Amino acid sequence: MKSLALFATLLAVPGALSQASEYAQCGGIGWTGATACQSPFVCTELNSYYSQCLPGSPGATSSSASSTISSSSAPTPTPSGSLPRLGGVNTAGYDFSAATDGSFVDNSVSPPVSQYSHFASQGANLFRIPFAWSEMQPTLGGPLNQSFLSRYDATVNAALATGGYVIVDVHNYARLNGQIIGQGGPTNDQFASLWSLLAAHYASQSHVIFGVMNEPHDVPDLGAWATSVQAAVNAIRSAGATSQAILIPGSSWASAQALPTEAGPYLLKVTDPIGGTSKLLFDVHKYLDSDNSGTHADCVTNNVDVLTTLVNWLQQNGNRQAILSETGGGNTASCETDLGQELAYVKQAFPTLVGFSVWAAGAFDSTYILSVSPNPDGSDQPLWVDAVKPNLP
């Protein structure tokens, strides 16, 4: 399900300082903290939501950040054949059987297929469909569970029938039964076996995106994790799935904030057997509540600072791309504002940020705190209407 990690303490609160330090926020819509920067840094507007203390003078800075984020000098367009701007929703249900320690209980629920045409008619073109490894492949290295695969396929095909894209998401937190892949748990070969079979199955579906793993957390050896990711990437390509994008996740519950300093430097070394890195995208998550857990109804940040730092890092490390595959909030005024600003930022940061999928619709009803499932009468949740829909592609 959604991330449970706590990252709010990783960044100091800039507003507590009278003069902001390098890379700290110093302005933007809704900003109430310090607007002056410590010498020699200059408060530089990156977009209307975010100004940051950077070296150099405003408007003439040498930082690639400010020169690449402004709409007048957008990042280099992606090569042809790469992904268009994406926006949509996670449809939960099959993941109800997947626990954060990678253990499995057999209580998956099929997301209602009617939701795909419902959301697509409003402009959504991305659907992330999580599932548990144990249900898809009950025996490590063994065949796929054909009974589950036919259920999962019916869902994937309903989403693909809209013309949109589907993220096939192994929702296992880098684990199986409490043990980490390649680090005491399943071997990299066993992990590769899952991806080999899935990729062979979906090899002809160009709108399938392979989500290598949901939310790795508490992974002791990030270099070893990158090796496990490489094994999955190699397996996907060897199975004949050479046209699709692959999403590679970092640590700390796929934290968008942690990627540049934790797993990112290791994952930059992951290679694609088809050549280049334009089809290897970083998979990141970010919530907007007080502890970044996605468990509270109210939002306290629009995350534009975190995402701006991520965009700078991606552009400075080979002009790579990422996708925000989980984010979301409650159906509250604070989240309607903050999520709306976050998704507007994501949209304008294309193609560095390819798009987003909010958490969650699917087999949740409107009592779930982060629900964007349609109501039984077909009407939508306020958060969807006010924050998500205006920022769809």
Ligand X SMILES: *[C@@H]1O[C@H](CO)[C@@H](O)[C@H](O)[C@H]1NC(C)=O
Catalytic center residues = 215, 326
Does 95 engage in binding with ligand X (CB under 6 A)? no
Instruction: Give the residue with the Cβ less far from ligand X, 138 or 240.
Output: 138
Three-state secondary-structure class, residue 209: strand
The H or E element that residue 130 is part of is strand 126-131
For residue 232, the minimal CB distance to ligand X (Å) is 21
* Residues between 107 and 136 with contacts to ligand X, criterion CB under 6 A: 135
Does 151 engage in binding with ligand X (CB under 6 A)? yes
Instruction: Give the residue with the Cβ less far from ligand X, 148 or 165.
Output: 148
Give which of 130, 102, 126 is closest to 116, Cα–Cα: 126
For residue 139, the minimal CB distance to ligand X (Å) is 8
For residue 104, the minimal CB distance to ligand X (Å) is 7
Does 145 engage in binding with ligand X (CB under 6 A)? yes
Which range, of 59-67, 144-152, 291-299, 382-390, touches ligand X by CB under 6 A?
Answer: 144-152
Considering only 9, 39, 80, 147, the residue that binds ligand X (CB under 6 A) is: 147
> Within 13 Å of residue 146, how many CA atoms lie on the same side as its CB?
1
Look up residue 246 and give its amino acid.
Answer: I
Which of the 8 DSSP states describes residue 386? I
Bridge partners for 210 per DSSP: 168, 246
Which range, of 140-148, 207-215, 227-235, 262-270, touches ligand X by CB under 6 A?
Answer: 140-148
CA distance 304 to 359: 18
For residue 148, the minimal CB distance to ligand X (Å) is 3
For residue 145, the minimal CB distance to ligand X (Å) is 4
CA distance 371 to 328: 9
Start-end of H helices in the chain: 64-69, 114-120, 133-136, 146-160, 188-201, 222-238, 251-254, 264-267, 304-316, 333-348, 382-383
Instruction: Give the residue with the Cβ less far from ligand X, 169 or 289.
Output: 169
The site for ligand X (CB under 6 A) is made up of 106, 135, 138, 145, 147-148, 151
